Amino acid sequence: NKKVVLRRHVTGFPTEDDMEITVGTTEQRVPAGLTAVLIKNLYLSCDPWMRGRMSKHDDGATVPVSDFVIGDAMVNFGVGKVIDSTHPEFIAGDLVWGMSGWEEYTLVTQPESLHKINHADLPLSYYTGVLGMPGLTAYAGFTQVARPNKGDFVFVSAASGAVGQVVGQLAKIAGCYVVGSAGSDEKVSLLKTKFGYDDAFNYKSETDLSAALKRCLRDGIDIYFDNVGGATLDAALLHMRHGGRVAVCGMISQYNLEEPYGVRNLYCIIGKTIWVEGFNVGRFFHLYPRFEEEMAGYIKDGKVAVVEDVVEGIESAPAALIGLFSGKNVGKQLVAIARA
Ligand code: NDP
C-alpha cells in the first residue's frame, strides 16, 4: 500500500520534499469485529485546505481540523471503489467519494461520511471537483451566501480553478454579468471561451488591480466571490456597490505567508454597507443530494463545462499539491492512481 506521508510540519511555502512516498502493508479485508469499509482509491483530490493541515497548530485557532500526523498517510477527499465492507449501507463494488487517505487502499472507519456516486455515467473524477466538495462549495457559497439577483455584477478570483470555474458558470445561469481574475493568459482565455465569463483579466500582468476592476466592472461589483484574499480583496472592496456582498470562500494568497497582507480598504464596508460573510462548505453538506442532481443535470445539458488537470500515479501527488500555490494547475487538480 503506497502512501503519501508528511515528513515534517511546514512553515511558509511547502515543498515536495515535505512529503514522501512510503510503502505499508495492504489490508485485503475489513478486520473482524470492526464496522468499516475498505476502499481502493481511484482519484486523489488536491485541495488548498490541505496546506493548513500541513502546519503544526498548537493553539488550534486557525484551522477547524486536526494537523496531519507525521508519517501517516495524508487525508483528503477522493474517489474510490469499495472492495470489502462490514457496514450495512455499502457492498463491494460500490463507487464512493469522501474523506480518504492519500494511499492506494484506505480502511474507512467512519463510512457515514462517504457518499455513493449516483452518476457513474459521468467521469468519476468529477466527484473530486465539480460534483464533489469544490462544486458544493461553489454552489452553496454562491446560492446561499452570495445570494445572487438577476443582473448582478459578479467578480470571482481564482476564477478558472475548481471552485471558481463553477461559481462563474452558476453566475451566468443566474443571469449575472461575470468577471474573473486568473494568473495566466491561458487561464484568462479559458474563462472567456470555455466558462462563459463576460470579461476577465490576468492579475499577474496588471500593474493596478483597481484599474483592471474599473475597466471590467465600470458600474461596480454586487457580489465578490473571494478565493484569494490579499491585494485582490483590497482592490475589490474599493469597487463594491452600495449593499454589495462579499462571500469569503478562501484566501489562498495568504496561506503560505508568515506576515499576512494588511488589507487597507476595510473602511469601505461601512460607507457602502457591504455584507461580508465567510463560510465553510462543511455547513452545507445537507444540500449535497439536491446539488448533485442539479449539477449533474447542468453538465449533461452542456450548461456547465469542466476543466480538470489530471496527473497520473500516486508519486505525482506531492508536486501536484504544491503546484496549487503557484497556479501551476489549469482547472481542478487531481491525481489518477487506479482504474475502477
Ligand atoms: P484552485 O483550483 O483555484 O487552485 C488554486 C489556485 O489559486 C491556483 O491555481 C492559482 O490560480 C490561485 N493562487 C495560488 N496562489 C495564489 C496567490 N498567491 N494569489 C492569488 N491566487 C493564487 O483551488 P480551489 O478552487 O480548490 O480553491 C479555491 C479557494 O477556495 C482556495 O482559497 C480554497 O482554500 C478555498 N476553498 C474554500 C472552501 C470553503 O469551505 N470555504 C472549500 C474549498 C475551497 P491563478 O493561476 O489564477 O492564480
- Centre of ligand 1 from the C-alpha of residue 140, in Å: 16
Q: What is the CATH number of the domain that holds 204?
A: 3.40.50.720
Instruction: Please report, for residues 6, 87, 95, the alpha-carbon distance to residue 118 in angstroms, rounded to integers and kept in the order given.
Output: 33, 19, 9
Residue 62 has pLDDT above 60, yes or no: no
Contacting residues for 130 by C-beta, under 8 A, at least 6 apart: 162, 165, 166, 295, 299, 304, 306, 332
Q: Is 329 in the pocket of ligand 1 (CB under 6 A)?
A: yes
Instruction: Specify if 223 maps to a domain.
Output: yes
**Mean of the pLDDT values across residues 34-39?**
96
Q: Is 154 in the pocket of ligand 1 (CB under 6 A)?
A: no
Does one domain contain both 137 and 271? yes
Cβ pair 120, 325 in contact under 8 A = no
End-to-end CA distance of the chain: 17
Cβ pair 146, 166 in contact under 8 A = no
Q: Minimal CA–CA distance to 184: which of 302, 313, 309?
A: 309
- Work out which ligand 1 atom sits closest to the CA atom of 51: 34
User: What pLDDT band is residue 123 in, cutting at 50, 70 and 90?
Assistant: very high
- Centre of ligand 1 from the C-alpha of residue 28, in Å: 37
Q: Which triple of cell numbers denotes residue 301?
A: 445539458
Q: Is 37 in the pocket of ligand 1 (CB under 6 A)?
A: no
Give the pTM: 0.97
**Mean of the pLDDT values across residues 200-218?**
98
Q: Going by DSSP bridges, is the β-strand pair 221-226/153-156 parallel, antiparallel, or unpaired?
A: parallel
Residue 65 has pLDDT above 90, yes or no: no
**Mean of the pLDDT values across residues 204-213?**
98
pLDDT > 90: what percent of the chain?
95
Domain closes at, from 246, 267, 282: 282
Contacting residues for 48 by C-beta, under 8 A, at least 6 apart: 250, 252, 255, 324, 325
Instruction: Specify if 295 maps to a domain.
Output: no
Cβ pair 38, 27 in contact under 8 A = yes
Q: Does this complex have an ipTM over 0.95? A: yes
Does one domain contain both 277 and 157? yes
User: What pLDDT band is residue 22 in, cutting at 50, 70 and 90?
Assistant: very high
Q: Which triple of cell numbers denotes residue 49?
A: 485546505
Main-chain phi, psi angles of 279, to 5 degrees: -150, 160
Query: Can you give the pLDDT at residue 27?
Result: 81
Q: Is 41 in the pocket of ligand 1 (CB under 6 A)?
A: no
Tell which one of 188, 252, 257, 279 to mutate to probe ligand 1, the residue whose CB is within 8 A of the most ligand atoms.
252
Tell which one of 163, 202, 333, 335 to mutate to probe ligand 1, the residue whose CB is within 8 A of the most ligand atoms.
163
How many independent structural domains does the chain possess? 2
Main-chain phi, psi angles of 9, to 5 degrees: -75, 150
Query: Helix, strand or coil for residue 188?
Result: helix
Which range among 22-26, 80-84, 103-107, 117-121 shows the weakest confidence by mean pLDDT? 22-26
The CA distance from 127 to 195, in Å, is 19
The CA distance from 101 to 87, in Å, is 19
Domain closes at, from 267, 282, 297: 282
Does one domain contain both 203 and 245? yes
The CA distance from 246 to 182, in Å, is 18
Residue 64 has pLDDT above 70, yes or no: no
What domain range is 192 assigned to? 133-282
Q: Which amino acid is at 82?
A: V
Q: Is 253 in the pocket of ligand 1 (CB under 6 A)?
A: yes
Instruction: Specify if 9 maps to a domain.
Output: yes
- Output DSSP code: residue 77: E
Instruction: Please report, for residues 36, 56, 284, the alpha-carbon distance to residue 65 in angstroms, rounded to integers and kept in the order given.
Output: 22, 11, 17
Instruction: Specify if 316 maps to a domain.
Output: yes
Other CB atoms within 10 A of residue 134 CB: 25
The CA distance from 296 to 121, in Å, is 10
**Mean of the pLDDT values across residues 271-275?**
97
Query: Can you give the pLDDT at residue 58?
Result: 74
48-60 pLDDT, tens digit per residue, is: 999 999 998 876 5
Instruction: Specify if 294 maps to a domain.
Output: no
Cβ pair 335, 313 in contact under 8 A = yes
276-301 pLDDT, tens digit per residue, is: 999 999 999 999 999 999 999 999 99
Q: Is 183 in the pocket of ligand 1 (CB under 6 A)?
A: yes
Q: Which triple of cell numbers denotes residue 210?
A: 483597481
Q: Is 48 in the pocket of ligand 1 (CB under 6 A)?
A: yes
Residue closest via CA to ligand 1's atom 15 equals 325
Does one domain contain both 50 and 144? no
Does one domain contain both 125 and 145? no
pLDDT, mean over the chain: 96
131-189 pLDDT, tens digit per residue, is: 999 999 999 999 999 999 999 999 999 999 999 999 999 999 999 999 999 999 999 99
Instruction: Please report, for residues 28, 65, 87, 94, 147, the alpha-carbon distance to residue 91 in angstroms, rounded to integers and kept in the order given.
Output: 14, 29, 8, 6, 39
Q: Is 227 in the pocket of ligand 1 (CB under 6 A)?
A: yes
Q: Is 182 in the pocket of ligand 1 (CB under 6 A)?
A: yes
Residue 43 has pLDDT above 60, yes or no: yes
Q: Which amino acid is at 220?
A: G
Does one domain contain both 328 and 310? yes
236-264 pLDDT, tens digit per residue, is: 999 999 999 999 999 999 999 999 999 99
Q: Which amino acid is at 164?
A: G
